[in-house]
Amino acid sequence: MSRLLYSKDEILADHPYAKAHVEAGYRLHGGFDDKGHYISPRTLHRWPAIHAWGNALKTRGHDLVDSSQALMVRGSFPTTEQQKFLLDQGLGQTLWDSLSVTGVIEARGKNLAEATAADFQSIVVEDISQTATGHLNKGLLRAHGLDEGGDASRGEGGHDAMWFAVRDMLFGKHAYPHAVVPDSLARPEMGRLMPQIPPEHERWILLLMNVLMIEVRAENFFNFCTAVMRDPRNFRDRRDVAMHAADLVDRIRQDEAPHVGYLTVVVSELRSFTFKLADGSTVKGASFIDPVWRGMVQWHSVANVDFAREQTRLELEGLLAKKPNGQDLIRQFHSLERKEAA
């Protein structure tokens, strides 16, 4: 039986690295073993712990919720063929902007490092000390925040710096102005969704589900990035650099896996727990969590993706329209997507 109880220091512990992680002038988190393989930061105990909590949950007769790429029913836009077309048209700034915006959004995740989750033990019947939920404030949120936004006290950049490194490698520093982060679609105000539990606990369940879906969507963008960078028809004058940038994106992807991992286990544990209600009765978490999770998945995988897609379409059409044969280019751009879909 794998261990289920960890100290905060253990959850935050790094592997001993043979070599530090430095790219494009940025000192970054994580490191390499003596064979040159990248090792994600703070995963010495965190990864085995996440697997152990997930297995323990299954042993208790519960499934993990689906947080796979199968949820992303819409393909990426632009498609990889459309991005190639944009690069060919000298519109590298479109990819530069996507990479910059991703870096800025990653940096926002740093808030998790200082956050304290609601005390779930106070409203759950079962002892949760040996679960992922019981470790949210024992290193899991802190490790996640530091992964995203870096650890300034150690002079280490996180994913924000890694995306900027990828961008600078591909295009050169200051190749274009810094991107403006577009407005995202605000989740509609729907009042209390889980009135069975206190507002503070509801807020935390929604936050954890929301972050989980942001992570699932990000993974979709990683696949797009590495496909564009590894395509031999792109960045033809700097293939080595583009291949190396793709490796860096793969390191970010590797770091993200424990985020999807622990959040999936936490959401799954919450639905398995028995909750104490104010009137002294109890209720199974799944009864009020499942509909909310379904709504969150739908929100991120369809509503939000469609909104972002429409914004991007208008922006890209605007750029193409400025070219001498703009209307023709716009037609070509859209036909590439139909070809790929077919």
* Nearest approach, Cβ of residue 185 and Fe ion (Å): 20
The residue to which tokens 């716009």 are assigned = 330
- The residues that bridge with 274 in the sheet, in sequence order, are 284
159 binds Fe ion (CB under 5 A): yes
CA of residue 15 relative to chain centroid, distance = 23
* Nearest approach, Cβ of residue 219 and Fe ion (Å): 9
From candidates 110, 201, 251, 259, binder to Fe ion by CB under 5 A: 259
Q: CB-wise, 29 or 92, nearer to Fe ion?
A: 29
From candidates 157, 256, 301, 329, binder to Fe ion by CB under 5 A: 256
- Which of positions 66-85 make contact with Fe ion (CB under 5 A)? none
* Nearest approach, Cβ of residue 76 and Fe ion (Å): 17
The residue to which tokens 């808030």 are assigned = 111
148 binds Fe ion (CB under 5 A): yes
151 binds Fe ion (CB under 5 A): no
Q: Judged by CB under 5 A, how many residues of this single chain contact Fe ion?
A: 6
CA distances from 83 to 8, 29, 161 (A): 43, 30, 23
Backbone φ and ψ for 22, nearest 5 degrees, come out as: -130, 130
3-state helix, strand, coil in the chain (%, to 5): 60, 5, 30
Q: CB-wise, 151 or 215, nearer to Fe ion?
A: 215
Angstrom distance (rounded) from CA 277 to CA 198: 9
Tokens encoding 268: 């799954």
- DSSP string across 193-259: S-TTS-HHHHHHHHHHHHHHHHHHHHHHHHHHHHHHHH-TTSSGGGHHHHHHHHHHHHHHHHHHHHH
160 binds Fe ion (CB under 5 A): no
Q: CB-wise, 42 or 159, nearer to Fe ion?
A: 159
Is-contact 85 336, C-beta < 8 A?
yes
* Nearest approach, Cβ of residue 119 and Fe ion (Å): 24
* Nearest approach, Cβ of residue 341 and Fe ion (Å): 29
* Nearest approach, Cβ of residue 209 and Fe ion (Å): 14
217 binds Fe ion (CB under 5 A): no
- Interface mask toward Fe ion for 92-121; x: CB under 5 A: --------------x---------------
What residues make contact with Fe ion under the rule CB under 5 A?
106, 148, 159, 215, 256, 259
